[in-house]
């Protein structure tokens, strides 16, 4: 599953876009430097997210939407189309 697919699934599971969850995390004081376990516990308790989906959110909460280019355009199952993840929801994602 691509990184973007994880974020799209988070939206399906929570009803919130990744950007909305990033904003909520910021309101809770989560951001760069926050330990993954703190964010994972919040996402599990409030939204029922498991570790895989939670770790995708940990990345964007603590590091922003950029991912390593080694995951872009590869043939593997984790292939992403861009090194910048789309956080504004599936309905607003440009056709790719």
2-46 pLDDT, tens digit per residue, is: 889 999 999 999 999 999 999 999 999 999 999 999 999 999 999
In 1-66, where does DSSP find H-type helix?
3-14, 18-27, 36-47, 51-63
Asked if pLDDT for residue 78 goes beyond 90, the answer is no
Q: What percent of the chain has pLDDT over 90?
A: 73
Of 36-40, 46-50, 91-95, give the lowest mean pLDDT range.
Answer: 91-95
pLDDT computed for residue 79 by the predictor: 74
Asked if pLDDT for residue 75 goes beyond 70, the answer is no
Domain ranges in the chain are: 1-66
* C-alpha–C-alpha distance, residues 74 and 71, integer Å: 6
């Amino acid at each position: 599953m691509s990184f973007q697919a994880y974020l799209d699934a988070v939206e399906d599971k929570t009803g919130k876009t990744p950007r909305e969850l990033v904003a909520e995390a910021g309101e809770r004081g989560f951001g760069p430097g926050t330990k993954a376990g703190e964010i994972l516990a919040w996402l599990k308790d409030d939204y029922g997210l498991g570790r895989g989906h939670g770790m995708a959110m940990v990345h964007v909460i603590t590091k922003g939407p950029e991912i390593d280019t080694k995951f872009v355009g590869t043939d593997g199952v984790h292939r992403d189309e861009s090194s910048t993840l789309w956080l504004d929801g599936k309905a607003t994602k440009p056709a790719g």
